[in-house]
Amino acid sequence: MCAVIIGSGTTVVTTLFPQGGIASVNFGFAPEVNRLWELGSWVPYDTYVVRRRTLSLTAYGRRDNGQGGSQLFDVTPSTTCDDATAVSITVNPGACGTTVSPFTQDYWPASYSYSKDNFGWGQESWSFATKPEITGYTGTIVYLRGIATGQMNTGGGVMAAADMGVVIDDTASRDSAGDYIDGTSGSVQAGFPGIGDYTTQREVVVTSIGYSLGRDDGNKGQASVTIPNQEIYL
């Protein structure tokens, strides 16, 4: 089955982006197939299937007037055996040919990143996953959130962390001596004028993501965050 999806006819509705600004979305529902092979047969002894829905999107940072873009989303780790906060997302694809049904699902953020050049508009990228769907399982699945960590550029000519959509735990982000954990990299090539880059990258522990700034002329922005999730079965 194949269909053409028209961007201008597709809507994505979520409280994470109440005023719009989503530029693209990718979604899927993929099976994880485990076949139990046995000697003397081409037929599996049994087949075990786990399905999980995934979704990723890119979006613009908020405008100078504070409108648009994402809301700040808390990613502090779980402290109880309750589901971590999820994001409800509704996608209504504008499909041609084959019908692609709209869907609404609770998704848990798995990663976040932000990127912006000196001039132009900054963009966020989010990836999400759902709880696994296991054929025959009737128990409860709880999704717990671990400690979110990431990297961000810092120093002169770089946007503030919060403007890149990253709120850090300052104390947890330092080493045992109380210093930030930084690394550096640089590159340049021959030619005229032979422009290169030198950047300082900081390792951080993150408490919130989102609500980035779209424009900050003259400054660059680069940040990425991983949010670990762990399902438990009750």
Nearest to 124 by CA among 64, 56, 75: 56
pLDDT in tens, 83-120: 999 999 999 998 888 888 889 999 999 999 999 999 99
Tell me how far apart the alpha carbons of residues 155 and 66 are, in angstroms, rounded to a whole number.
Answer: 25
In sign, the C-alpha dihedral spanning 153, 151, 77, 49 is positive
pLDDT of 112 reads 98
pTM over 0.85: yes
- Per the CB < 8 A criterion, the answer to whether 144 and 108 are in contact is no
pLDDT in tens, 171-213: 999 999 999 999 999 999 998 888 888 899 999 999 999 999 9
For the cut 90, the answer to whether the pLDDT of residue 66 exceeds it is: no
Q: Residue 62 forms beta bridges with which residues? A: 213
Burial class (CB in 10 A: 0-12, 13-18, 19+), 231: middle
Q: Residue 112 forms beta bridges with which residues? A: 126, 225
pLDDT of 85 reads 96
pLDDT of 5 reads 86
pLDDT of 208 reads 98
- Chain Cα centroid distance, residue 28: 15
Helix, strand, coil share (%) of the chain residues, nearest 5: 0, 55, 45
pLDDT of 204 reads 97
Tell me how far apart the alpha carbons of residues 4 and 12 are, in angstroms, rounded to a whole number.
Answer: 17
pLDDT in tens, 130-181: 999 888 888 999 999 999 999 999 998 999 999 999 999 999 999 999 999 9
pLDDT of 27 reads 94
Give the HSE-up count for residue 190: Cα atoms under 13 Å, Cβ half-sphere. 0
pLDDT of 12 reads 95
Nearest to 74 by CA among 203, 204, 167: 167
| Mean local confidence (pLDDT), 26-30 | 92
- Per the CB < 8 A criterion, the answer to whether 169 and 163 are in contact is no
| Mean local confidence (pLDDT), 49-55 | 92
3-class SS of residue 164: helix
Model confidence at 125, pLDDT cuts 50, 70, 90, reads very high
For the cut 90, the answer to whether the pLDDT of residue 48 exceeds it is: no
2 or 27, which is more confident: 27
Q: Residue 145 forms beta bridges with which residues? A: 229
pLDDT of 1 reads 66
Q: Quote the mean pLDDT of the chain.
A: 93
Cβ-proximal residues to 111 (8 Å cutoff; 6+ apart), any chain: 125, 126, 127, 224, 225, 226, 227
For the cut 90, the answer to whether the pLDDT of residue 3 exceeds it is: no
| Mean local confidence (pLDDT), 46-58 | 93
For the cut 70, the answer to whether the pLDDT of residue 229 exceeds it is: yes
Tell me how far apart the alpha carbons of residues 229 and 109 are, in angstroms, rounded to a whole number.
Answer: 9
Tell me how far apart the alpha carbons of residues 66 and 213 are, in angstroms, rounded to a whole number.
Answer: 8
